[in-house]
Amino acid sequence: TQLLEQSPQFLSIQEGENLTVYCNSSSVFSSLQWYRQEPGEGPVLLVTVVTGGEVKKLKRLTFQFGDARKDSSLHITAAQPGDTGLYLCAGDHQAGTALIFGKGTTLSVSS
Amino acid sequence: DAGITQSPRHKVTETGTPVTLRCHQTENHRYMYWYRQDPGHGLRLIHYSYGVKDTDKGEVSDGYSVSRSKTEDFLLTLESATSSQTSVYFCAIKGAALANYGYTFGSGTRLTVV
């Protein structure tokens, strides 16, 4: 089984702080996606990255795909309580295969 | 957004009984998936479908079967429920190229086997 390792597993910070979540694998991914999940709901897609070295920004969130397409990071600037949730990375090794998910990072932002 | 609904949202069942969970989509997407989510394990693929009557096993398929007789419906059956199958089950559909093939998830079914 190809694995996606996410770190840290838990993160508790104050409003206004910056943070980075990492997603790593020993395997190359065709694409990598980031999802956010709130309690009692299914994950919601934030972004997809497909090109090595690609950087995408979504307001205060910055996503990067590693040059070798084996790792990715999610950086949040000036975190807000509304950012609280479970962040999941997921990748597929080739088009048409199902996504493999990391175990997630639980983020708690307090005001 | 693609329409995807799961039913029931919550179910409690006894060990040894069969249970069927339903996933319904309104967007005519080809690919559908069943995942289970457990603390410490994240989301794990049970089965998936790539068309009507076309299904395949995922990482944790033992004790589960699926059926897809119509594009819009993907059923997950626990043939004889066990306590280890207590979990939250999510159905997902795969979006189109314009959506970067992102998955849209249902709201989940919380299943408790007692």
For the cut 70, the answer to whether the pLDDT of residue A95 exceeds it is no
Question: pLDDT in tens for each of the 114 residues of chain B?
Answer: 459 999 999 999 999 999 999 999 998 999 999 999 999 888 999 999 999 999 999 999 999 999 999 999 999 999 999 999 999 999 999 987 767 788 999 999 999 999
**SS3 state at A109:** strand
Bond into A43 cis (ω within 30): no
- CA distance linking residue A19 with residue A37, whole number of Å: 18
For the cut 60, the answer to whether the pLDDT of residue A47 exceeds it is yes
> Is the separation of the CB atoms in B88 and B36 below 8 Å?
yes
Query: Measured between CB atoms, which of A31, A44, A103 is closest to B41?
Result: A103
Q: Where are the alpha helices (DSSP H) in chain A?
A: none
Q: List residues of A whose CB lies inside 8 A of any B CB.
A: 1, 31, 33, 35, 40-45, 48, 50, 88, 90, 95-96, 98-104
CA distance A101 to chain B (A): 6
Instruction: For residue A97, name the pLDDT band (cuts at 50, 70, 90).
Output: confident
- CA distance linking residue A104 with residue A61, whole number of Å: 17
Q: How many residues does chain A have?
A: 111
Query: Measured between CB atoms, which of A42, A103, A104 is closest to B107?
Result: A42
Least confident of A50-54, A96-100, A105-109, B3-7: A96-100
CA distance A45 to chain B (A): 6
When pLDDT is averaged across residues A25-37 and rounded to a whole number, the result is 93
Q: Is the Cβ pair B43, A88 closer than 8 Å?
A: yes
